[in-house]
Amino acid sequence: MRKGFKEFQNCLYEYLSELKKSFTEGSLIKIFGSVILKNGAILRATNKFHGRPWFSNIAVAMNNEELSKYQSDKGICYAQTLLITEVNVPNESLFHLVLVQWYDYRFDQNSDLYDCPLLKLVECCIESLLSNPDIIKNFIYKYQFLQSDGETLYSEQYSGNWWKNAKASIRPEAHILSIILYSDATTIDSLGKSSLHPIYISLGNIRTWRRNKEDAKQLLGYLPILSANNEGQTSRFKRLAHETFHNSLKFLLDPLFDEDGIDFKINNKNIWFFPRISTVIGDWPEACTFSLTFKLANSNYPCHFCQTHRNDLTSIRKDCIIIRNKENMQEYYNNGSAESIGLEQVYNYFWTIPNIDIYAATVPDRMHYLDLGLFRYQIEYTKELLGKSLEDKMNRRIAIIPRHPGLKIFAKGV
């Protein structure tokens, strides 16, 4: 806070100088931990909000007259609020100033690039995971082909086809670092008026049983939540919300995807990795946000995974399923007809990332998958796909699994 206030003083003197004003005796500066904007949104800059720091992310529309001086995202620059103030100079009008830390932009009159520490946060999260000795004991570096009785076995991520294909796309002496993301917007008060949108990171290289422990996950950050009084239902506001979400992910994750990979230190040795996002975990609204499909329950194409019309969901056949993928979704986007397939006409950040099909990578979390009953419907659907003979074969295999306390199996078959 002291460092932030010192920077603010320098900015304030420069600002007043440009206005040909001076900071005279009797001037007062009031510092706020939070303020409510005209549109009802809450802007925060505090070290202690329910015991944790909260510095709001903001999108800044740059002045059109000076826009050519900046490298921006279609006229928008992104920043994090550090200090919120009210300045009262004698004989002058009261005014408000906010000190921000820019995420990443270049001012052409100054060749320095202003880097936000959050850009390096993702690497810090990974380094924290890789510094845990117990995690490293259960950390897998290479793809493993597993087979039994002539049949291919799939267990952990490192035995799957995604890992095999991702590994084939990088240098043979390097390793895949499988990135797992999890996000879920959450209300943080009993009245439901305040919300946060945390995003967490874990690694698919860690064996599943070890990855399920609390210390195998890291909080990556909080994604911005836009709000407006009377614009919440307009297409322009919805588009801005989608663009802000994906631009925020871009700023958080882009440092990982250097074309030469990244070195991480494990047991005092530098290991060469190519980070790749393997899985995005979330509920259905989160899946829609990541894949940019319509969230409306009555959408004609409500599934983020396939292009099945909602009238056909109850009588779906395997040979009728058309899977969404980067190629066919980009084609709809480029033709300007994305909405005809239940897709927002917004460019998806994940189309730029190697080795990920965001539509297949987005999977439901355990709470929505098991605890809320989605699993039962998938079992029925899977049985129909398998047919009677394969279902009986699966039941025989389940029957010979040794019993163990806490292990839940289908005692009477699926």
How many contiguous H segments (helices) and E segments (strands) does the chain have? 12, 19
**Dist CA 368 CA 139 (whole Å):** 28
Question: CA-CA-CA-CA torsion for 37, 43, 49, 53, nearest 10 degrees?
Answer: -170
Model confidence at 382: pLDDT above 50: yes
Per-residue exposure over 12-48, b if at least 16 CB sit within 10 Å of its own CB, e if not: beeebeeeeeeeeeeeebeeeeebeeeeebeebbbee
Match 């009245």 to its residue by tokens: 191
Model confidence at 195: pLDDT above 80: no
Mean of pLDDT values over 286-300: 89
Higher per-residue pLDDT: 315 or 233 = 315
Higher per-residue pLDDT: 344 or 148 = 344
β-pairing verdict for 175-183 and 198-203? antiparallel
β-pairing verdict for 269-281 and 362-363? parallel
Model confidence at 349: pLDDT above 80: yes
CA atoms within 13 A on the CB side of 281: 17
Q: What is the pLDDT of residue 229?
A: 63
**Which positions ≥6 away from 191 have C-beta within 8 Å?**
none
**CA R_g for the chain:** 25
Match 């946000």 to its residue by tokens: 289
**Dist CA 228 CA 210 (whole Å):** 42
Mean of pLDDT values over 239-258: 88
**Dist CA 379 CA 3 (whole Å):** 57
**Dist CA 291 CA 346 (whole Å):** 10
Higher per-residue pLDDT: 310 or 342 = 342
Highest average pLDDT, of 3-12, 33-42, 140-149, 336-345, comes from 336-345
Residue 412 φ/ψ, nearest 5 degrees: -110, 20
Query: In angstroms, how far is the first alpha carbon of the chain from the final one?
Result: 59
Mean pLDDT rounded to a whole number for the chain: 81
Asked whether 229 and 39 are in contact (CB, 8 A), the reply is yes
Q: How confident is the model at residue 7 (pLDDT cuts 50, 70, 90)?
A: low
Mean of pLDDT values over 84-106: 75
pTM of this prediction exceeds 0.85: no
Mean of pLDDT values over 96-100: 81
